[in-house]
Amino acid sequence: MATEFEPGAAVGSYRVHHLLAQGGMAMVYDAAHRILPRRVALKVMHQHLLDRPEAAQRLLQEACILEAFAHPGAVRVFDCGVLPDRRPWIAMEYVGGESLAALFARAGALPIAAVVGLMTAIADVIAAADRAGIVHRDLKPENVLVVDPAGGEVRVIDWGIAHHPVGPRLTLENLSLGTPTYIAPEQALGRPVDGRADVYALGVIAYEAVVGRPPFASDHALAMVLKHLLEAPPPVRAQRPDVPCCLAALIEAMLAKDPEHRPTAREVRARLAPLQAGAAPVACDHDDALGAYCELVVTDAATEDAPAFEVLPPPATTWQRDPAWAGRRAPRAARAAAIVDV
């Protein structure tokens, strides 16, 4: 990889060690504070983007969002500044581990327990962002760093095109938003988005985690977007029969075309709770129904950070497996219905 700063170069109060990575917007260096014992990931905008004001705006917006949005699942910002040539830079928390994209490339489909842990951790981050009015808008495996695969510890990175209610909003006129493989239908159409666009992207990531590939594939961006708009994803259990019915149903609900039919990030986290707690799944018959299920209702003791649930007996009726199921979910009251194997 080409580098603009050699080892030992000074950027603000930081000294560059070596280049970590580079993308379309910036280079990221391993660096350290010149006085404090602080190792950072130093992100510096590419020089050739100086004639694009929106590029600098995007980098500074990322710093502002991360400063306002303090969450353990998002990297911390220590400092930011502007170089003499007017390029902005950000000094962020250095995080070890590998990207989720690298994990997928190395391991393929993941064990169910690992999928549940990663989904829960990412859902926790985007639920907190949603409460703050922030939509990431480019959630994808490359933007998730897996710090502890066994414990499900992650960092969601690259918030440069995120929408924040108090910050500048980058539009389709000056920036291409999202990544076609993971983009929500409403985002692809240029419509206003909320946290459920991030839920859709997480649904694509979860599908890839359990199946070993995303639900849609194409060599052309426009064709990929059309698949998100028009095609139903192949059923999860048709690709991997050992996936618990409740997890397959949740992933398919997250991939609903209409955002009104998707669960919120908080509801995703709630529906994953029984699996994360070690509930033992049983086989389910897809020719008849989605299997035994119960309802999880958020109790009065629940909080945003620690939902509490009351398990109710299953009603006499069953939910038949039909194409319309993914479009039905609990109302937006303090209620989370989950199909779970018992």
Radius of gyration of the chain (CA): 21
Per annotation, catalytic residue among 138, 158, 198, 341: 138
Burial 257-276 (b: 16+ CB within 10 A, else e): bebebbbbbbbbbbbbbbbe
Residues with Cβ within 8 Å of 100's Cβ and at least 6 positions away in sequence, in order, are 118, 141, 142, 144, 145, 146, 154, 205
> Does residue 51 carry a catalytic annotation?
no
Q: Which residues lie across from 154 on neighbouring strands? A: 146
- How long is the chain? 342
Sheet holding 14-22, edge to edge: 10-11, 14-22, 26-33, 39-45, 88-93, 77-82
Spatial distance between the Cα atoms of 117 and 128, rounded to a whole number of angstroms: 17
Measured in degrees and rounded to the nearest 5, phi and psi for residue 150 equal: -70, -40
Show which residues are catalytic. 138
